[in-house]
Amino acid sequence: MKKMLGVLLVSLCVVSLSHASGVAGDAASKYSSDVQTSYAFGMIFGSQLQEIGISIASYTAVAEGMRDMLENSEATRLSWDDAVTKIHIAYMEAKEKQIAESMAREAQFLEENGKLPGVLTTASGLQYQVVAEGTGRTPALVDTVVIDYEGVFIDGLLFDSSYERGEPEEFPLNMVIPGLSEGIQLMSEGATFRFFIPSQLAYGSEGAGDIIPPYSTLVYQVELISILPYEADDTAQE
């Protein structure tokens, strides 16, 4: 258990350093090099606690816990198992709070967005807006489509864009998140729609790696370029 937590802390340090935005050189210069290193550990751990959403009730207790562990690990005020349990509980409470806040934020956004002119809502909860009508065919779930698209969070932060990559995307409609699969079937070739996809029609409670957090509402602007001819599986038995 100790080894696992140690590896985790080192990993957290590396991740935090990769997100560093700069060092206040003038403020740090008043410390010796060794003290600056100690301060740096505090910054890293503080950054991770802030990201998780855990608040500290006593900075003195944090310092004492570090000192006791480093100087005499056999005389700490808590057993190792008790310490791990405390951290686990704090982590789970912080995650539950984050989830509740994300769900409330999503519900408020969708309620307000659904009242905007031109925004339509389907039975599944998908919201969409017609940017430009098309004149071509409409795809079915078994079809493969070619689209250009841009995906952002509700705060406008871009997370994916075929425009930035410089080429359209091609994929079967039955291989994408339900919100896109349903929404693109409402389009015809040449159309551009904007989709507001609730988390339950996107990546839900799991999110998608480090890119899309759990319970994220996604906004896609999609241009349906073409529908590729359907090719039956020749290996299928009659």
**Could you read off the pLDDT of 68-124 as tens digits, one per residue?**
888 887 788 888 888 899 888 988 888 888 888 888 999 999 999 999 999 999 999
Rounded to the nearest 5 degrees, what angle is found at the Cα of 132, between the Cα atoms of 126 and 136? 95
The bridge status of strand 144-153 relative to strand 158-161 is antiparallel
pTM reported for the whole predicted model: 0.69
For residue 145, CA distances in Å to 130, 152, 161, 226 come to: 18, 21, 16, 6
Q: Which structural domains are found in the chain, ordered by start?
A: 2-18+27-77 (no CATH), 108-228 (3.10.50.40)
The bridge status of strand 127-132 relative to strand 119-121 is antiparallel
Give which of 139, 99, 110, 103 is closest to 219, Cα–Cα. 110
pLDDT-based confidence at 38, cuts 50/70/90? confident
Contacts of 231 (CB under 8 A, 6+ apart): none
